[in-house]
Amino acid sequence: MAPVPPSLVVTGTSSGIGYAVAGLAIAQGWRVFGSVRNEADAARLTGEFGDLLTPLIFDVRDEAALAVAAKTVHASLGSATLNGLVNNAGIGLGGPVLHQPLDEFRAVLDTNILGTLLATRAFTPLLGADQTLSGRKGRIVNITSIAGKIGSPFAGAYVASKFAVEGLSEVMRRELKLYGIDVVVVAPATVDTPIWDQPEGAIGRYAATDYGRAFDKGVRTIVRAGHRHGLQAKDVAKTVMKALTARRPRLRYAPAQHALMEQALPKLAPKRVTDFVIAHSLGLMPDEKKALRGVSV
């Protein structure tokens, strides 16, 4: 009898890191259940990976849809445990914290924080919290970001969500010890994914505010950095698979294309120095000749 392949649920597999994790896991012999949000993406992934990937159609904010997806996975695995859950699905919508529409801010928080929580609640029984299942306990990998430790201007919602997921992951790791389920964080620096094709559409959006020029400059800078200097999604996928399979994984992995510049120096530099450098580079220094125009909050 052929050995049963390890199984994995990955949220957000339509592109980027989630897509790369699904592909690498399949190449390494895993059975993957990948979440997408529409039938078109489900058909595309099925066409690429065939029976090696089972698409699950849900939005991570939809608790009812997650429950249906968990039942689908359970039915497929029978009495066996699920070996891994990668909470990857997320969005990033930028803007000055004083002006970004609250519905956008909430959408980022709901997707990145509550989505991680809801997916974890839905699949943790299959990872081994359900004592009737047999097999080794599964492991959870939460994808955060360098933004979970360092706050960049105009990414307030995304930064707040990733800081929150860092803390939530620590709580999960300690609480889920009760079931023998480990929780690991993978927090990459800038990654070259299709997410960088979106921000440029926001250029000029805040032109009527005091942040107009700085916001546009910040968007152009981060998009350029993402495409020119970002990690490849496949490299992050390798780290995720290491986090899933290592006998004694680290608590947190922080892959980066330029680890010293992107991960180490920003943490070592005094905060006030970093504040000054960022403010000066983006044009966020106060005007010495006149006070800023009134900002409506």
Three-state DSSP at 33 gives: strand
Across the range 235-249, mean pLDDT stands at 97
Lowest mean pLDDT among 145-149, 279-283, 292-296: 292-296
Instruction: Map tokens 């306990």 to a residue.
Output: 137
**CB 94, CB 154: distance < 8 Å:** yes
Map residue 12 onto helix, strand or coil.
Answer: coil
Position 205 scores a pLDDT of 94
Whether the per-residue pLDDT at 251 is higher than 60: the answer is yes
Is residue 106's pLDDT more than 50? Answer: yes
Q: To the nearest whole number, what is the mean pLDDT of the chain?
A: 91
Q: What's the confidence (pLDDT) of residue 117?
A: 98
Between 160 and 220, name the one with better pLDDT. 160
- DSSP letter assigned to residue 147: G
Closest to 256 measured CA to CA, from 163, 142, 146, 173 = 146
CA nearest neighbour of 147 among 20, 266, 26: 266
In this structure, the dihedral spanned by the alpha carbons of residues 28, 42, 105 and 218, taken in order and rounded to 10 degrees, is: 70
* pLDDT for the residue 297: 35
pLDDT of 230 over the 90 cut: no
**Structure confidence by residue, pLDDT tens digits, 47-97:** 999 999 999 999 999 999 999 999 999 999 999 999 999 999 999 999 999
For the cut 60, the answer to whether the pLDDT of residue 45 exceeds it is yes
Please give the class, per CATH, of domain 7-282. Answer: alpha beta
Portion of the chain with pLDDT greater than 90, in percent: 76
| For the chain, domain boundaries | 7-282
Q: What is the CA radius of gyration of the chain?
A: 20
Return the minimum-mean-pLDDT range out of 3-7, 162-166, 180-184: 3-7
Q: Around Cβ 255, how many Cβ atoms within 10 Å?
A: 21
Q: What integer is the mean pLDDT of 120-130?
A: 98
The answer to whether the predicted template modeling score (pTM) of the entire model surpasses 0.85 is yes
Name, in order, each residue with C-beta under 8 angstroms of 144's C-beta and a sequence gap of 6 or more. 162, 165, 166, 169, 185, 186, 187
Looking at the annotation, which residues are catalytic? 158
Would you state the structure tokens that stand for residue 86, as one six-digit string?
């990668």
For residue 258, give the nearest of 228, 219, 230 by alpha carbon.
230
Q: What is the pLDDT of residue 227?
A: 67
Q: How large is the average pLDDT for residues 210-223?
A: 91
108, 55 Cβ separation under 8 angstroms: no
Provide the pLDDT confidence category of residue 258 given band limits of 50, 70 and 90.
low
pLDDT of residue 30 exceeding 80:
yes
